[in-house]
Structures are given as structure tokens and as C-alpha cells.
Structure 1
């Protein structure tokens, strides 16, 4: 029995020992597994954070390149820029005004360089100052490599954007040839100028990237660091020229260090501890994922409204377009431009303007279907993408919904603000999945909508492209005509109402092309205004008419001025210079202006009119009676003469109240002591009526059609030739 007891005790002891050993081994194994799990969580969290940071850094580099590339593309592939840099006499001023001067404070670039076809620098500015001859040494050989890449790139290729090392440090540089949106086959691409923008990665710029993409302690270093994380910056040849570097935050390690004392002191709650560590790991991963999601959101969304930005819109359209192609449905792009937004900014400031933009975005989201994609492209421009499926009819319903929604008044800071919108629509029924072409068409349609009076919706039509091409050809013909001084001038006499003797002439622009084609002023004057040629055209007419009228003593010369000319701050000086060159008495010159500029920009109009009057030049209000000029306007600007619109003359025979309206209009001018000219006089009855009403000067076909300089000279100041047709 004792043996059995001893044997049982031994077996129990052995069992206890075995259980103890097993417990110890199991505990050790559990501790090892727990330690291994903690180590795995720590390493994984660190790696996830490092991976997030690397993706964020790569995203930051791509965003910087994409942003500068878009800026270069928008400025280089620009019809106005192509035309202006082609003009030898004005291109330098234009480049400095539009690009070079903005380097002083523009956030997207601090250096702007334009080179010609032979790679000779036309303008080179950095931080708002001329770089002089230092530009070549400043960028070194990388500059020529960028020029070569820009000239090799086609218009559909991405704009070459790379990093370079300059004398001021590391810079992001982009280059593209300056070319029109539609390139004629006769244009030699080798003759294009090249536009170069560069943005130096200063400590401030690096800090902005660090904040925007949640990469703490981001720095720019020359060599790859031995510790921490880094991404290389490549130049155009693929060389690594610098690195973005930052320390690894190691959130997993920091979490482990916090709970390490608790692990040593509380081994008996191992399972709870493991759950806590698991929770910490899950929280860490969740935060990293949330941070990455926020970075992606910021890259694709507008910070003011939370809508998609241009980049996000293009990406969304690409994905939606692929789906519509597979489903055989249609994608419609609506470009929206707010009408009257500039007036809100001018009246109440940008703070109210931003609030209005945010209110517009909310109203669009509330109004449009949930499946519509809404974006803000910048400024007061928005875009809406919708998909037309088999049973859906989104146009014109979407355009109408947008119009109706934005025509309702907005309440901003106690102010009631009324605006509207112009909408341009393009559909991918023909062009397929080409997002860029769809955007171009929507933009053209929007321009047409604004041009036709605003507040309407226009869908793109193929004839728009044809019209654009015709307008471009006419503009080029006009540009060529102006370059050779080919604009002609005709003269229509003004006569004294009492004696019928000539007292002045009005100079009228005429355009006849080399092939004999004639274009009326109602066509080519607006064309010149749209294309930026009106200043050149107006000065050619002024200079030619001054030279001609110098021969006609004791009579006045009247010149019509476009509102855009009057808005030019240099206009007054240009007129005075022309008078000095022609040695023409300023008191014989009369500038005729319409009331449009007085309403759209009264301050500049007042400055220009005052400058002209100070020089002795007379100012006449043209076409009075056709608009809304008030008595206050007549008094404010102090006109020397008023010209009655011909519509009031025509009304004499067509409207029973025409005579009374005409008499009241002239009586108003006489009460303000403003002499009156009546134009459009074609009959003796009309001439007699305006004489009786108080007009002192008359003009019209009754006296003479517009004729040449020689015909005026012959008829009024010399022998009358037999062929002096047109003068009656």
C-alpha cells in the first residue's frame, strides 16, 4: 500500500511537475506569442505609416508637377498669347504684363522665361525682377534640356515638368511651346516661342507641401539620407538631383513604449493586454487610413466648397465616361459661369464673394439629381456632369434647373444678392471617351452662351468650330492689314445748320482686303475689340485722319473711339503723341464716345475724358437717345457736344410722337448748354425739322456720303472734279 501511495505520490508529483512544466512552457509560449504579436503590430503600424507617408510624398510631387503643368498649358496653348508673342513691337510688354510681372507674388511660379524659335531669351523674370544675362548660368544645361523636351512634345502630350538645380536651389520647371488652340498646317512648329515657368522649392514652399499632405518635418536635401524616409526628385534626363526627406513617425513603436510598463506589471491580464494592444493597432491603422483619405480628398476637391476641383472632375469624367461607353449611354458636361459675380466682389469684397460661391455650390447640390457630379473649376466657374441613360432626359432639364436655381436671390450676411448663370453643354455622342475634347466643346458652348447675352444655356454644335475657324481667319487677315497700315479712312462732312457750309468731318474706318473683299465697320470693329487689335486700329485711323485734316483749315475732325480704347490707361498720351507728330491743333479734334463705357467703367472714363479736355480736345457723346444716359451723366462728364442718334431722326416720319421726343431731347441739351449735331439726315424735311428744334450741325446723305480725302479736298477746298461722286 505504501508503495502504491508512494507510487501515486510520485505520479502526482510527476503530474504536478509535468503540469507545472507544461504551464510554464505554455505561459512562456503565450508570452512569446504575445511578444511576437506586439512586435508584429508595432512593425506593421510603422510600415503602414511609412507607406502612407511615401504615397503622400509621391502624391505631393505629382500634384506639384500636375499643377505647374496645367498652369503652363493654360498659358502656352492660348490664342491671345500666340498672337501677342508674334507681334515684334508689343510682345515684350505683353509678356511682362501677363507673365513676368506676376512672378513677384504668384503662388504657382516665381520665374517666367519666354524664348523665341532660336532659343534666344525674349523675357526672363524671377521674383518680379528682370534676370538680365544671368538666366543661362542660373539654370545651367538643364534649361536647354527643358526647351528641347518642350519642342518635342505634341499638344496632346503632357507638358514636360521636371525638377532642376538652379543657382537659387532646387526648382520645379515646366515648359511648353506657345501655340494657338487650332494650328494651321501652314504654321511651322519650329517657329513657336517657348514659355517656361519655374517654382523654387524654398523652405516656405516645402513647409506648404508638408502641411498640405500631412508629412511632418518634411525637408529638402541634396543627397539621399541614411536614416528616415525619402523620395527622389528627378530632372528631365532621369537623374536624381535632390530628395524630399522626413523622419519616420513610428506610431506603432510609440504605442508599444507607452504600454510596456503595464505589460511587465500586469502579466496576469495578458489577454486583456493583448486586446488593448490590438485596439491600439486598429486605432493607429484607422488614423493612418483616415489621414491618407484626407490627403486624397484635398488633392481632388476644392477647399472652399468641398466640390470636385478641375483635376478631380477630369478623373471622375474619365471613369464615368468608360462606364457610359460600356452601357451605350451619353455623358453630358455642363460648364457654368456666374453672371454678375464680379460686381459682387467689387461691391462687397472677396469675403462676401466666397460666401456666395459656397452658397451657389450648396444650391447646386440641393437642386441637381444625386447622381450628378458637381465641380468648381475656379473663380466663379462650375461644372456639372450627368449621364443620359435610355429612359432619361437630362437636357435641357439640367440646364433649366441650373438657370432657375441660380436666378433665385441669395441671402449673404444680411444682403440680398441676385445673380444668374450662363451654361455651355457638350455631349460625348460623337467624340466618344475623349474627356479633353468634351471639355473644349463645353467651354466653347459657354462662350457662345455668354456672347449671346448671358443667362442662357447653349449646347455645342459643330458649326461653332467652323465659326471659330472663320473668325480666326478674319482676325489674321485684319492683323495682316494692320501690320501694313492698310486700314482706310473715309470722311463724311458736317455742315452748319444755318448756312450749309462745312464745319467739320467725321473720320470713318474702312477695310478692303487685297483681294477686293470689303468688310463693314459693324463686323471688323467688334472683331478688333475681341482680338485686342482695337488700339492699333484706332491709332491708325487717328494718325491718317490727322494727316489728312491738317490740309483742311478751320474745320473740326471727329474721331469715333471704342470703349476699350478709352479704358486703356495709355490712350490719352497716345492721342497727344499723335497730335504732336501731326502738328495738329488739339482744339480742332473732337473725340466721340458712346455711353457704354460711361456706365461700365465711369472712373476710368472720367480720367480719360478729363485728360483729353485738359489738352483742349473736344468730347462728344455719340448716339444720344439710343441708350440710358441720364442728365446726371451729361453733367458729370461735361460733354462739349451731343450727337443725336439717327433713330430719333427716322422716327419723325414713322412715329406720331417722334417730333415731340426729338424736340425734348434737343431742348434738354440746349438747357445744359451743349451744342447738338443731328446725324442720319437724308431729306430736306428732316433737315428743316432738326433746324427748328435747335440743332446747330447736321450730317447725313442729304449733304454727302462718306468720301475720300481727295474728294473732300476737291469739293470744299479747291476745284470740283467731274468724278467727285458721292458729294452732294
Structure 2
């Protein structure tokens, strides 16, 4: 009975257990199949996510290369020199290609002229035969798009000229295209950027631009940065035809859709890892399900954290300045809007402050852009240290910052904060072993008294900043309604001056210079005059600085030069002296425009004198020296105007080739009865004679001044006592001798007799 019972029990057990085992086995197999299928999908999703992250990291590197090109591409000097083409090849190679190579690692670069001709093919290793036809064909599309965007950026103005008004991408300030190419079988990033003007935005025609094409190799260093940015490990570059088994890859192509390089990396394969962890414990299905659930939850949390981190980094990069880490202009405007929206609840004052570093361009010009970046970082650190917890600091543009001071109980507290900012820059900034003293100017607008909108307050703070800079720099100004009226008047005068230049509505006056040796007029100085139809006569002291600020000074200077060269034919034996603004003198096309003007009016260069002041030397000694040498080669004479008014006149006399020395009128006024002034004048005249220069005394108003200057050997005399400035038709008889004041004739005859 027991065996039968055992058999029956076994049958029942088999009947019950076997189906259960089968069901469990099927369930286990089904679960395993689901797990295997899920793991493969997870691995594929992970690879897809990694590819997207890698492509975003590559695009960020390309954007960075394009951003680095801006300093060399958006630059008036590079723009005009590239226009002149092959004659400026060495300059472009040194100041553009070599600068990008040394500063940012752009190991190769091409500079193509407006006709697609190669001006510079730069290779830091020295190889000059790398710019193949295949490479140029690959770049043809990006170059064409950049040129098209550049030409379409010109807007025709009412005057018939074109104004350059480009639309830039995001935080960029250049027109560019990026991508990848192969050079000599090696992969490279490239960026094509139009060489565009920075300040000179008006032109007669729309012409294709020259372009800079920078190449950065995709080497181990670049792959390392990609690994960090994308969060991937062991990224390797192989030939496009090579595919590594078991590794994820991404094929990168050039603008013609040709393969450039294949990037391989070890994918994290979270699905496979999950399955491998579950397999050893498949016999315990419940535990396996628990482990699977835990792994899936952990993977989801990890993926979410990574995606959130990547999104946060992208948002941060879009809202902050890459050099200083401060909020950029757009983000700052949003923060200001939010601050003003809550200002009514605080019932305090909110100050918007614009901060601008004084003469920061001189630092870039003398020490280079890398030093300028170091100064900006150092200044940022100091500004951060004094901004209160309720304040906000941002970098608006190159050397311009902005600050919001909220919840201020009084204007005195705002002034205290501004004084702390000023005090932070009393200590010098150390850059590359050099101590630099940096000052800043600030303009502030206060809400609610100056406005409640972000745009209105920013505009008024900018107006106040202009007032601070115009009144000596190194200080701050609070907005006042009179400032806005002044700015509007200045803008109106600038527009009307533009029309006056275009419509030939200006005039010139000439003031003779008398030779103390012969008693004859030997030279005349050209002075611009503007008799406004509504405002009446406007002093050059009023409109010339406005022309400097608004970029009209070059056109104004050319107009005066052309008029002087035209009228010079009325007086064949007299030198023509023309004052040249420092901005015009440093213009890259100044020499060309001068030669064209002389040729247009058939005036010999030997009859022209150029008058400059010491401010022409600011930070550009070598460039100014080269221009002066070129003028001397042409036969044009150079006069140092207002000698004695600057702190370093003697050093300029020693280092630069001046022909004429004009004594500042402040030394002439007391010359009649002041022994100290007379001693100074004797010294200046002796110095001029020792250096072989012609000395001119201007501002002579009395016979005593004239007699003394003549007695000590001053060669030329100028001033109201001799002749007031006047138009050409009034000055012509003076030069001919018919209307020279009798006292001048008598003095001249006495001098000849003695």
C-alpha cells in the first residue's frame, strides 16, 4: 500500500508541480527574454544619448573657435588691410594668423581675399603647401554662406551709402560657419568668419568680404576635452572606414557630406550591465525582480541626473560670460526686470550702474588681448568682493560691466557703494609681472525717480556714464535730465554735421604765418568753420569732439584737407598747414587718402604741412612712427602742435621726426612782461634750432610779444596781431601784402634793419 500511495502522491505531485514548474519555467524564460530585449533597447538608447551629448560637445567646441576668431576678424585694421590684399600679407600673417595660433591654438589658418584668392596660408609647423584644391572645395559652401550673410547685412541709407547692420547668433559678434574637414588625411575643426569692420560701418558699395578660416586639429587634447564635456571615457578617432567591434561610434562628415573621422568610445551599456547582475540570481525569481527593479530605478535616477546636469550647464553657458563667469547682457536684463518688479514691495531705491574701464583699449594694444583678459578677470574678482548680497554684477560687453544695487535706503548709501568700487581699484593689477593701474568710470540711474523700466534705466545709466567719461574719467555721475538733453543735442549736431559734410555746407578760414626774417607770409593754417542755418556759428571746440566720438572725424578731416588743397593754388609760394585729428592720423587708410587728395588737386606734397598733437601717440608709438616716416618720404612736413602742453613733449621730439615746432599760446600770452615766460620761450626756440626744426609762435596779440619773439630768433609768427583768420578771398590780399597792418610792416622793417 505504501508504494502505491507513494506513486499516487508522486503522480499528484507531478500533475500539480510539473505544470507549476513549467509555468514558472515559462515565466522565467519570458522574463529573461523580456530582460534581454529590454537590455538591448537600453543599450541602444544609451548610445543614442551619448551620441547626442557628443554632438553637442563638438558644437560647443566649434562655437568656441568661432568666438575666438572675433578678436581678429571684427577689427577695422584687419578689415582694411585685407581689402588691400597681397601687400598686407605679412601683417595679416603676424597679427591675425599667428595671433590666433599663439593665443588659441589655431594651428592652421587661411585668409581669403574678397575674390577668393589666398592671401595667407598659415601653418604653425611651417608647412606652406597644405591648402589643397580638395580642401577649398570642401570649404566652398560655408565660405559662400558667410559671404552671402555679410553682403545681406548691409542696409542702404538715405544718403545712398550702405550701413553694416549684421544679425549675429546668440552671444557672438561675427558672421561665421563651422564644421569639420580633412587635411592631409587628418581631421580638423574649422571656422569660417567674415573679416568685418568694428567701427567703420559705412561704405559706398556692398562688396564680398575677406574671410578667415581657422583650423584646429582633432588630436588627443581635443578628444580629452570632448570626453570631459560629453561625460564619456576613452574617445578615440579612427579612419572613417574602420569600425571597432563592441564600441559605440559617431561618423563626422565635412560640408560636402564626405566622411572625415569616426569617433569610437566604450558605451556604458547599462542594459547589459543590468542583465549580467541579474543572471547569477535567476533561480531566485523574486530577488531577481527586486534587483531588476532596483537597477532600473537607479539607472533612471542616474540618467535623470545626467540630463539635468547637461541642461543646467547649457542654460548657464547661455546666460553667463565665458571669460568672467558673470551674467551676460540678456540674463542681466531679465534679472533687472525681476528686481524692479519686486522693488515696490521693498519700498527702497534701486540703482542701475554702468561701469566702464578707462583706456582699456590701450592695455590690449600695448600688452595684448591675453593681458586684457587677465585684467578683466582681476577686475571682476574685485568688483564681486564689494557687491552687496542684494546686488547683481554682470559683464555687458568687452570692458563694460553693469551692477544693480537694490533695497537701498538712500542715495548716500548708493554713493558709498560706488566709492567702495572705486577704492577696490586703487591697488594696481598685476599682469605678467607688470603692475597696471586701472581706473573706471561709472554712470548710475535710480529707480523710481529716473524710471521704473529696465530699458529706460539702462539707457539713462549709459547717459550718466558718458557724462562721467566726458568730465575726466575715474569718477561717477548720477543721471540728470540735463544730461539727456545734452545727449540729444549732441546726436542732433552729429546728424546735422553729417549732412553739412555731405552737402558741402562747411567753410574754412585761413590764418597767415609771418616770417620774422623776410616780413612776408610764408604759410597759412587751415581752420574749419560751421555757420549753422538755425543755430548760428558753432565753434570747432564744440563739433570737432562730437565728430571724434561719432566716427565723423575722418570724413570731416578729409573735407578740410580737400578744401585746403583746392585753395592752395591761390597762393603758389605759401605752405598750407592742416590740422589732423589723432583718430584720422591713426586711420589705416590715412596715407592712401592723403595721396589721393594731393593727386586730385595736383598739389605737390612739399607744400603741405600736417599738424598733430601729442595725443596721436596714445599706445601706438611704432604705428605712428611708421606713418610719420611715410609722410617724410613723400616730402610732407610734420608739425607738433601745442608744444609744451603735454607731459612728454621732449621725449617725442627726440624719438619722432618733426619738422616744425608750434609753441602753445599759453607760453606766448605773458611773453611781453614776464621774465620767466621769456626764459622758457628762449629755451624752446634754442631747442628747436638745435634739432633743426622751424619754430612757430601762435597766439601773438601785442606788439611787445611780437618784438620779443623776433628778437630771440623765432622763425614764424602767428596771431591776431598779424592777421585774424578769414576766408580765402579776404586772406589773399593779406598774403599779397596789400592789407597787412602797418604795424606788422613797421615791425618787419625794423627787424630787417637790425
Same topology, TM > 0.5: yes
Match of 2:274 in 1: 259
TM-score, reference length from structure 1: 0.68
Contact kept? 2:39, 2:274, Cα under 8 Å: no
1:330 Cα deviation (Å)? 4.2
Q: Give the whole-Å Cα distance in 2 for the aligned partners of 1:389 and 1:40.
A: 60
Contact kept? 1:45, 1:285, Cα under 8 Å: no
Q: Which residue among 660, 667, 674 is the counterpart of 2:693? A: 674
Q: Deviations over 1:158-183 (max 9, x none)?
A: xxxxxxx9997899979888599xxx
Q: Give the whole-Å Cα distance in 2 for the aligned partners of 1:382 and 1:349.
A: 21
Q: Cα–Cα, structure 1 residues 444 and 687, in superposed 2: closer, same or farther, change >3 Å? A: same
Q: Deviations over 1:627-650 (max 9, x none)?
A: 124434213223222111110011
Write out the 4+ residue segments of structure 1 that deviate beyond 6 Å after TM superposition.
Answer: 17-62, 92-97, 165-177, 191-194, 205-208, 210-213, 249-252
Q: Does 1:451 align with 2:470?
A: yes
Q: Cα–Cα, structure 1 residues 467 and 176, in superposed 2: closer, same or farther, change >3 Å? A: farther
Match of 1:143 in 2: none
Q: Deviations over 1:420-443 (max 9, x none)?
A: 222222334267663333333333
Contact kept? 1:325, 1:432, Cα under 8 Å: no
Contact kept? 1:57, 1:213, Cα under 8 Å: no
Contact kept? 2:605, 2:636, Cα under 8 Å: yes
Match of 1:233 in 2: none
Q: Which residue among 532, 550, 562 is the counterpart of 1:513? A: 532
Q: Does 1:129 align with 2:148?
A: no
Q: Deviations over 1:199-249 (max 9, x none)?
A: 5564558999x96985999xxxxxxxxxx9xxxxxxxxxxxxxxxxxx9x9
Match of 2:585 in 1: 566
Q: Which residue among 701, 707, 710 is the counterpart of 1:691? A: 710
Match of 1:544 in 2: 563
Q: Cα–Cα, structure 1 residues 500 and 412, in superposed 2: closer, same or farther, change >3 Å? A: closer
Q: Give the whole-Å Cα distance in 2 for the aligned partners of 1:424 and 1:443.
A: 6
Q: Does 1:370 align with 2:389?
A: yes
In structure 2, stretches of 5+ residues that fail to align are: 67-72, 85-92, 97-110, 118-140, 169-174, 181-188, 192-217, 236-247, 249-262, 748-754
Match of 2:88 in 1: none
Q: Give the whole-Å Cα distance in 2 for the aligned partners of 1:571 and 1:199.
A: 29
Contact kept? 1:318, 1:435, Cα under 8 Å: yes
Q: Deviations over 1:333-368 (max 9, x none)?
A: 322222343333334433333333222222222222
SS of 2:647 mapped into structure 1: coil
Q: Cα–Cα, structure 1 residues 338 and 48, in superposed 2: closer, same or farther, change >3 Å? A: farther
In structure 1, stretches of 5+ residues that fail to align are: 69-74, 76-80, 82-91, 98-103, 107-125, 133-164, 181-186, 218-227, 229-246
Match of 1:627 in 2: 646
Q: Cα–Cα, structure 1 residues 273 and 215, in superposed 2: closer, same or farther, change >3 Å? A: closer
Q: Does 1:578 align with 2:597?
A: yes
1:394 Cα deviation (Å)? 4.6
Contact kept? 1:213, 1:295, Cα under 8 Å: no
Q: Cα–Cα, structure 1 residues 167 and 664, in superposed 2: closer, same or farther, change >3 Å? A: closer
Q: Give the whole-Å Cα distance in 2 for the aligned partners of 1:695 and 1:168.
A: 63
Q: Cα–Cα, structure 1 residues 305 and 516, in superposed 2: closer, same or farther, change >3 Å? A: closer
Q: How does 1:81-120 map to 2 (within 5 A)?
A: none
Contact kept? 1:49, 1:250, Cα under 8 Å: no
Q: Give the whole-Å Cα distance in 2 for the aligned partners of 1:470 and 1:387.
A: 32
Match of 2:252 in 1: none
Q: Which residue among 534, 553, 557 is the counterpart of 2:553? A: 534
Aligned length: 618
SS of 2:668 mapped into structure 1: helix
TM-score, reference length from structure 2: 0.66
Q: Give the whole-Å Cα distance in 1 for the aligned partners of 2:666 and 2:482.
A: 34
Q: Does 1:617 align with 2:636?
A: yes
Match of 2:307 in 1: 288
Match of 2:437 in 1: 418
1:587 Cα deviation (Å)? 3.0
Q: Cα–Cα, structure 1 residues 298 and 18, in superposed 2: closer, same or farther, change >3 Å? A: farther
CA RMSD of aligned residues (A): 5.5
Match of 2:523 in 1: 504
Q: Give the whole-Å Cα distance in 2 for the aligned partners of 1:535 and 1:23.
A: 96
Contact kept? 1:171, 1:199, Cα under 8 Å: no
Q: Does 1:405 align with 2:420?
A: no
Q: Give the whole-Å Cα distance in 2 for the aligned partners of 1:410 and 1:580.
A: 49
Q: Deviations over 1:531-559 (max 9, x none)?
A: 33323333333333333332334332222
Contact kept? 2:143, 2:177, Cα under 8 Å: no
Q: Give the whole-Å Cα distance in 2 for the aligned partners of 1:392 and 1:632.
A: 46
Q: Does 1:607 align with 2:626?
A: yes
